[in-house]
Amino acid sequence: MNRLTISILIFSLSQSWLHAQVLVQDAQGKTSIMYHGNAVNFDILQARASFSYNSFSNERYKNKDRKFFWGTRVSASSKNGVSGIINQGNIVPEGEFSITLGITKNYGENNENIQYITAVKKLERDVRKNGKIKEAFQKQLEDFGKIDPDIAANAALQASIDGLISGEPYELLVQKIRALGAANAALNGNITILANSIEKQIEDFNRETQFTRKEINVQWDQIERSWWKNRGLIYAIFGGTGSEFVHQQNPSSLIYDERFKKVNFQGLKAGVGYNYQLGASHIFGGNIIIQKSNTFSGLDSEEFTFTNSTALSSGKIDVQDVFVAYSGKYDTYTELPINVDYATFITGFSDEKSVLSLNAYTRHKISFNPSIFPTTTNIGGGAYFFKNDGAFLGGIYFELADLANNIEKRQENPILKPFYNRLSVGITTKFTLNSIIAYLP
């Protein structure tokens, strides 16, 4: 797991340009809403590093009726802070990975796109014919340069203007025609009028015909992203979790092997989920997963120093080993998490170039072994501000853990915490956004 975590950190540093998919997430960085994009999260306070990547096949062609989806997520965390993840090559106590596979179905073709498609195709034809169009305009410009009879009467001046029109690029042409006025004071007014007329014709020509490929791609992208009014995604999740740590089983024993035991936990998980995008501004998501878990999160950590003495004829040698062990009741159990997420987007919240994202979620975990770990429910939400180009401006999130205080109730001497002691609130600048904003009108 240590190699995995280091890989995540290296990736997050070397790929800082990546835009994120995770716009709706809980305090653990998880979500049931799957979207095209990727995210790197590094939570210093909770000592958690994670990377996720999701992709729709041929996402560029959003007018396709069906598309395959795949994604992956890896994470690692430590109860000992950031140093517990990467310090001295120690094994990371907790890690998780998952693979997601799915297929989309689009609904409600937007017939209004037909008129936009016609317009864009005309632009593409114009670009392809740009050479011929420019030739025709060039001839028109040369003819226009000869319509002033006073200028035409001056053969040398007319020849100079003809030479400029036929030989100079359009961005310099008007400037050089106007310069001829200084050398021909008597016809300066005529030359100025001609220059102004040619300048207007060039501006009209550029406005009507000089569309770049980038501009056309922008138009196509707008059409494709609004081709379908709604979209559904059904997916399956496969993965696993792992914990590797030293457990203090018998605190009263002074014998190492009786007091401490190395625990290596591995648990598989599998589940199904569904997302539904309603128009461009609402996304609903949910999944149900069955997985094997453990009570590692409820253990307390403590640093120990173990001294091993070796007797010699001249004395003894003491070798000290400093390590972290975890104490408390440890066991494994099976649970069924049911996760529900919702996200909505408000464009032009503070100005026309900003987007406000609001999300809410529930995390209900049904325990099949309540004597080991109880059923719990968490709720949360957040608000995030973005520029419409994907730049993240800031956000705030909250999560209320264990609504019914079930974890505390199972203790021998429970001290029920008020809700505000179970409420976590944070300000986040974890990620930027690209792919989801692209779906906004």
Burial, 1: exposed, middle or buried (Cβ in 10 Å; 0-12, 13-18, 19+)? buried
Closest CA to 231 of 102, 112, 100, 139: 102
Closest CA to 68 of 80, 82, 81, 54: 54
- Sorted by sequence, the CB contacts under 8 Å of residue 168 that are 6+ apart come out as 176
Q: What is the pLDDT of residue 279?
A: 75
Q: What is the DSSP-derived secondary structure letter of residue 321?
A: E
pLDDT in tens, 204-255: 877 766 555 556 666 665 655 555 567 889 999 999 998 888 999 888 888 8
Q: What is the pLDDT of residue 6?
A: 42
User: Would the pTM count as exceeding 0.85?
Assistant: no
| The two three-digit tokens of residue 346, written as one number | 């408000």
- Sorted by sequence, the CB contacts under 8 Å of residue 406 that are 6+ apart come out as 374, 375, 376
Burial, 418: exposed, middle or buried (Cβ in 10 Å; 0-12, 13-18, 19+)? exposed
Burial annotation 234-268 (CB, 10 A radius, 16+ → b, else e): ebebebbbbbbbbbbeeeeeeeeeebbeebebebe
Question: Mind listing the pLDDT tens digit of every residue in the chain (441 residues)?
Answer: 444 444 444 444 433 333 333 456 777 778 898 876 666 665 555 556 777 787 777 555 555 567 788 888 888 776 555 444 444 444 456 788 999 999 988 776 655 555 556 666 666 666 666 666 777 788 888 888 888 888 888 888 888 888 888 888 887 888 888 888 877 888 888 888 888 888 888 888 777 665 555 566 666 656 555 555 678 899 999 999 988 889 998 888 888 888 999 999 999 999 999 999 887 678 899 999 999 999 988 888 888 887 777 777 777 777 777 888 899 899 999 999 999 999 888 876 555 557 788 899 999 999 999 999 999 999 999 887 776 555 556 778 889 989 988 888 887 787 787 877 888 877 665 444 444 444 444
Whole-number average pLDDT of the chain: 76
Q: What is the pLDDT of residue 430?
A: 46
| The two three-digit tokens of residue 128, written as one number | 């392809």
Q: Using CA atoms, how far apart are residues 73 and 71, in angstroms rounded to an integer?
A: 7
Q: What is the pLDDT of residue 200?
A: 87
Residue 114's Cβ-side half-sphere holds a number of Cα atoms within 13 Å equal to 4
- Sorted by sequence, the CB contacts under 8 Å of residue 162 that are 6+ apart come out as 142, 145, 146
Q: What is the pLDDT of residue 126?
A: 64
Q: What is the pLDDT of residue 377?
A: 95
